Chain A
Amino acid sequence: MELCDLSAHELSLLLRQRRVSAVEILESCLRRIAQVDGRPGTLEPGDPLPEDAERVHAFITLTAERARAQAEAVDRRLAAGEALGPLAGIPFTVKDIFCVKGTPSTAASRILANFIAPYTATPVARMEAAGAIMLGKVNLDEFTYGSSNESSAFRPTPRNPWKLDRVPGGSSGGSTASVAAGEAPLSLGTDTAGSIRQPAAFCGVVGVKPTYGRVSRYGLIAFGSSLDCPGPIARNVTDAALMLQAIAGPDPHDSTAANLPVPDYLAALEEGVKGLRIGLSPDYFRITFPDPERGEYDQQPVPAEIAEAVRRAADVLADLGAEIVEDVPMPNTRYGIPAYFVISRVEAASNLHRYDGVKYGYRTPQPVQDLHEMYRKTRNEGFGLQPKLRILMGMYVSAAQYSAQYYQRALRVRTLIRRDFEQAFDPHGKYRLHALLTPTTPTTAFPLGAVYGDSVLMQYADQLTVPANHAGIPGISIPAGLDHEGLPIGIQFLGPDFSEALLLRIARAFERATEDAPWRQARPEVLQRLAAE
């Protein structure tokens, strides 16, 4: 066990007891990165190298010197007896969709590959103000558009540390891979349809999608502005709570950041689940499998291993004193993806108009006759297929003649999805839930190349996570077992607006009750190999 394998709260304690220095923690993480990460993602990777398949490839940009300067500053403050921030000396990685002043901030796209951000996103600034140390920028699906990390323009793309021929999930795949591989105890991700929770489930780590507006979006390169939520990724619930504490709160730079005080997420973390009402819905044990060739959408049960993991978790919580409420109807769950296909595309197309080769980013080097030709060539060469697909769909479904049929309808279905949750969580209603317990994903991590290219099937990977984005409510995914191939299974707790403290408390109760479970002793393939060397 190296320092880099310890949790943020353990490292924080060791640092304050002066048993380790911030530089020692940092060097441990940098050593792990050198051992397991392989070459970083790049626009011109050339032919695949044999060793590429053996490495994690979480990073696009490693900022080791910047991190060393920060770690040395923490050690100086410690030596001088000055007050330390709550995350002092704790390394973290940042999904490369956040601007960080002076660093390439690429969105994993050619069109922003040369962009050096002139300012820092609020969540990153808050991590650094709390003393945390940024290791660098990690890979993602291009502009976050995907659920496998395979659409990144920066290759090699990340692999799942648990099984290197599997995807890490997406779009925060570099974030969850870096945390699972012990490269960093924490990572900052974003979740628009499940992009924190789905890769967290695939990589066996904890991922929190906060309530919309709980964490500022200032400095986040926008995708779906009514859906995007920055949030923490960690190896355990306590660390996720620590990180959320640092990044949450009002921000004068973001008018959608809720003007609400941030509760103490650690205060009630260990208070257990006695008396809490936790729901199960049959609508989250059914999944939709699209067959676009036939144009049909078949409903199937969630795979048995995943359903059983959720049921076991419900039993554990019941043993701890929670009341499990069965058969909570969430009838509009299955419409989450169809509505998302419309809403997110309209917002994406709008947000992507700004990339035009004029103010920043890529401009075509080809000779052009006029401005319009420059726009077209720049956007054609700069965007990959997935951004193009989203722009075109956004243009179509928001066109004046189709808007009522598609966009307006999708926004009204969004109302129904929100109502499902409002009814389930209504304190005076029939169900009076404190939280809903569901599977996070319809499958465990799938093989690289197995889904990529089929944009419909890929989108359905988010079918159990996207309803929370439509509704704006918070959710957390935590590990809850392994499937027959040894791949992590994630379970999800969803709660009412701004109920993060309660969700963290429930997740922590499950974590504590299962800390001796045999599946918790399993280690990702990449770390087993390292131990065997």
Chain B
Amino acid sequence: MPAEEIDRDTFAHLVHLAALELDEAQAEYLRRELNHQLSAIHELEAIPLAADVPITSHGVPYPPEICPPLREDDWQPFPDTAEILGQAPQVEEGYVVVPDIPHTTLE
């Protein structure tokens, strides 16, 4: 059994960053699976990586000849904004309403 890379404190920090709150059973399952997945990820360390191997952020190269030209930065009105606003859980007079936003006063 490999050492647990993500301990309870690290896990709690991740849950906070992810804006989640978990019950005990979920937390236990998720932390175990994270550690199992990390053991798979450590397989990557077996690969000799020369210093000049660049990163690939997508597989297919994008030479200019196949890149679509950027669109003009024009305002294009959506035909039915009510349909979009209608998806929001709470709306008042065309504004999306949320609970109180916590404020921190910077010193």
Contacts and interface: CB of A to CB of B under 8 A. Distances in A.
Interface of A: 115-116, 118, 211-213, 226, 250-252, 255-260, 290, 292-295, 297, 332, 334-335, 337-339, 341-342, 349, 356-363, 368-377, 379-380, 383, 385, 388-389, 391-393, 395-397, 406, 408-416, 418, 453-456, 459, 469-473, 497
Contacts of A368: 99
Nearest to A118: B83
Nearest to A294: B1
Interface in B1-58: 1-2, 6, 10-11, 14-15, 17-22, 26, 29-30, 33-34, 36-37, 39-45, 47, 49, 53-58
A408 B41 CA distance: 12
B49 A413 contact: yes
The 8 closest A-B CB pairs, nearest first, are: A472-B59, A472-B60, A295-B2, A360-B87, A292-B36, A411-B55, A363-B89, A471-B59
B70 interface: yes
A374 B98 contact: yes
Which of B10, B22, B89, B101 has the most A CB atoms < 10 Å from its CB?
B89
Contact of A392 (B18, B58, B68, B98): B18
Contacts of B88: 358-360
B59 A455 contact: no
B1 A295 contact: yes
A258 B41 contact: no
A288 to B, nearest CB: 8
Dominant SS among interface residues on chain B = loop
Given A379-B19, A469-B59, 12 more contacts: A118-B80, A213-B62, A292-B40, A335-B44, A358-B89, A360-B88, A374-B98, A397-B41, A412-B49, A413-B44, A416-B53, A453-B29
Nearest to B6: A396
B49 A392 contact: no
A194 to B, nearest CB: 14
Contact of B100 (A213, A369, A497): A369
Given A369-B100, A406-B41, A413-B49, A388 B22 contact: yes
Contact of B59 (A341, A372, A473): A473
Contacts of A338: 40-44
Contacts of A391: 18, 20
B12 to A, nearest CB: 11
B56 to A, nearest CB: 4
Contact of A396 (B14, B21, B33, B89): B14
B84 interface: yes
A379 B39 contact: no
22 contacts: A212-B58, A255-B67, A259-B69, A292-B36, A293-B1, A294-B1, A297-B43, A335-B47, A338-B41, A338-B43, A362-B89, A371-B100, A388-B18, A392-B11, A396-B34, A409-B44, A411-B57, A414-B55, A416-B49, A456-B40, A472-B59, A497-B60
Contacts of B80: 118
B42 to A, nearest CB: 8
Nearest to A353: B19
A341 to B, nearest CB: 5
Contact of B34 (A349, A376, A389): A389
A412 B55 contact: yes
B91 to A, nearest CB: 10
A255 B70 contact: yes
B77 interface: no
B99 A373 contact: yes
Interface string B58-91: 1111100111111100000010100110011110
B94 interface: no
Interface string B90-107: 100000101111100000
Contact of B30 (A356, A372, A392, A454): A392
Nearest to B65: A259
A252 B68 contact: yes
Contacts of A294: 1
Contacts of A380: 20-22
B59 A412 contact: no
A413 B53 CA distance: 8
B52 to A, nearest CB: 10
B20 A376 contact: yes
B19 A376 contact: yes
A316 B77 CA distance: 56
A415 B14 CA distance: 29
A497 B63 CA distance: 13
B100 A259 contact: no
A397 B49 CA distance: 19
